[in-house]
Amino acid sequence: MLSFLSLPRLSYGQKLSLVAAVPMVLAVAAIAILVAFQSRALAEREIQTLEAQLIEAKKRELRNYVTQARNGFYFIYGSAAPDDQEAKDQVAQILSAMIYGDEGFFFVYDYDGTNLVNPRQTEMINRNHLELTDSSGTPVVAELLNIARQGDGYLTHLWPKPSNGQEAEMITYVTSFPSWRWAVGTGVFIDDVLTSVAAARADVEARVQRTFYYISAITLAALLLVFGSGMALNFRERRLADAKLKKLTQRVFDAQEEERGRVARELHDGISQILVGVRYALDTTRRRLDKGSGDAATPLHQGIDNLGTAIAEVRRISRDLRPGALDDLGLGPALKALVEDFAARTGTQTEFQTVVFRNRLDQNAKIALYRIAQEALTNIERHSGASHVSVDLRGHKRGATLRIADNGSGVDATRRRRSAGIGLRNMQERVEQLDGTLRILAGVGGSAGTVIEATVPLTHLLPPEDSVAKKEQARA
């Protein structure tokens, strides 16, 4: 220490500053290391949570695929004998045709390990693969058969991708058809999940390293002032980011729950009750047929009519979730179909006017305006008690405007400003994402009712040559 204090060409003040700077540098280095360690730990926990959520979503997706496939041919399996080869061939043919995406397919193994269905890798069909293992030593087919014998479940393993033959990690869901001694399932490759997680880890590491370098550079330039300001800014930004992330996450959850609730209400209030009527009609028919007395045709016809109503209701719900006309014909025809369906369903007098857009709105604007119209009509049906609704869509020099007016009970402006519902907030957010404007007004001329005007700017209208080129490309 004495030799350090007696360094030549340094004043006493400089020596004191140097002595004071050394502990500060060490403290800053320790803080930088601690921040980097905590950032890595926090980011790793978030990445693991993200990975678990993505894997769980994949599993749910696989289970839904198998459930839907099973529902599609359960009427064959449920009425077939264990040795009904014709029924087995029918089901195998159905499963062979059920391919999805670039890699997705259904497979079938019998309990002895012989592959019966594999449309993506046909060379495996009619061969026994009980001893098949992946490069990590997992007996894939044997494990799948064990899971199937226990009912159903998931298996993570390596499997060659049909597109390139290279092994990749895969999650497989398998279930059993016990009377046929079949193991039926499907799988999905999770290399995209692993790639996303690896990229997230690399990005976190890069950010941590950059932060460490920045802190070091700031410390060398100004040990006290700059370091203090940098840490304060860092903590502030972290708090703001966390607050925004929580708010955004909550909005996503609210929107999901609202949509789930709407679909659940649609299913319960509509399809469920209709199907109960179908069951009652069929049950009445069965009892009359068993007794050999009474008119069995009348309830049977009623059940058939109710079943047709249920099918129409399912189609309507599916169309509400994602209307095909929006992609195929454009916004104008899609809105017209929406308004006509609203009129037929509610008995409300409706009026629809539009200018021919020739599909010149970009995709984001079309989806946003359609969803706004859908939400507005839903609110009118549920809350306004309107007897007349008009929908107007047209382009102008500022862009495009969707105007929806009704003669219902109206929306109280003060209540609207203080606590907008989820539907109105969703409308506002959709328009804001397009840099547009949303206005909610009282009825024109002081009359009762509500007017909703959603305007998207001119930047969301495609040039004529772009729309023509897209049409020609779609025809090709």
Statement to judge: residues 342 and 412 lie in one domain: yes
Q: Domain count of the chain?
A: 3
Q: Does some domain include residue 235?
A: no
Alpha carbons 318 and 320: distance in angstroms, whole number: 5
Alpha carbons 7 and 237: distance in angstroms, whole number: 43
What are the residues whose beta carbons fall under 8 Å from the beta carbon of 256, sequence distance 6 or more? none
Statement to judge: residues 328 and 471 lie in one domain: yes
Statement to judge: residues 341 and 387 lie in one domain: yes
DSSP class of 109: E
* Helices H / strands E in the chain, number of each: 14, 10
Q: Does some domain include residue 407?
A: yes
Q: Are 112 and 148 in contact (CB under 8 A)?
A: no
Structural domain containing residue 172 = 82-193
Last residue of a domain, one of 193, 219, 248: 193
Which 3 state secondary structure label does DSSP give 451?
strand
Statement to judge: residues 310 and 333 lie in one domain: no
What are the residues whose beta carbons fall under 8 Å from the beta carbon of 470, sequence distance 6 or more? 359, 462
Q: Are 460 and 452 in contact (CB under 8 A)?
A: no
Q: What are the structure tokens assigned to 350, written together?
A: 């409706």
Tell me how far the alpha carbon of residue 58 is from its chain's centroid. 12
Statement to judge: residues 274 and 373 lie in one domain: no
Q: Does some domain include residue 32?
A: no
Statement to judge: residues 413 and 366 lie in one domain: yes
Statement to judge: residues 335 and 422 lie in one domain: yes
Q: Does some domain include residue 300?
A: yes
Statement to judge: residues 312 and 392 lie in one domain: no
CA-angle at 126, arms to 121 and 131, nearest 5°? 85
The Cα-based distances of 270 to 147, 262, 299, 317 in angstroms read 38, 12, 20, 10
Last residue of a domain, one of 159, 178, 193: 193
pLDDT digits (tens, 9 = 90+) for 191-242: 777 777 777 777 777 777 777 777 777 766 656 564 445 456 556 767 887 7
Residue that the structure tokens 């601690």 belong to? 34
Alpha carbons 372 and 426: distance in angstroms, whole number: 8
Q: Does some domain include residue 62?
A: no
Q: Are 105 and 170 in contact (CB under 8 A)?
A: no
Q: Does some domain include residue 150?
A: yes
Statement to judge: residues 309 and 269 lie in one domain: yes
Query: Which strand (E) or helix (H) includes residue 80?
Result: none
Statement to judge: residues 312 and 334 lie in one domain: no
Instruction: Mark the ranges of the chain whose per-residue pLDDT is less than 70.
Output: 1-25, 28, 219-235, 237, 248, 251-253, 255-256, 259, 262, 264, 266-270, 294, 315-325, 327, 356-359, 411-422, 443-448, 463-476
What are the residues whose beta carbons fall under 8 Å from the beta carbon of 309, sequence distance 6 or more? 274
Alpha carbons 107 and 103: distance in angstroms, whole number: 12
Statement to judge: residues 328 and 392 lie in one domain: yes
pLDDT digits (tens, 9 = 90+) for 265-322: 766 666 777 777 777 777 777 777 777 776 777 777 777 777 777 777 776 666 666 6
Last residue of a domain, one of 316, 340, 359: 316
Statement to judge: residues 337 and 415 lie in one domain: yes
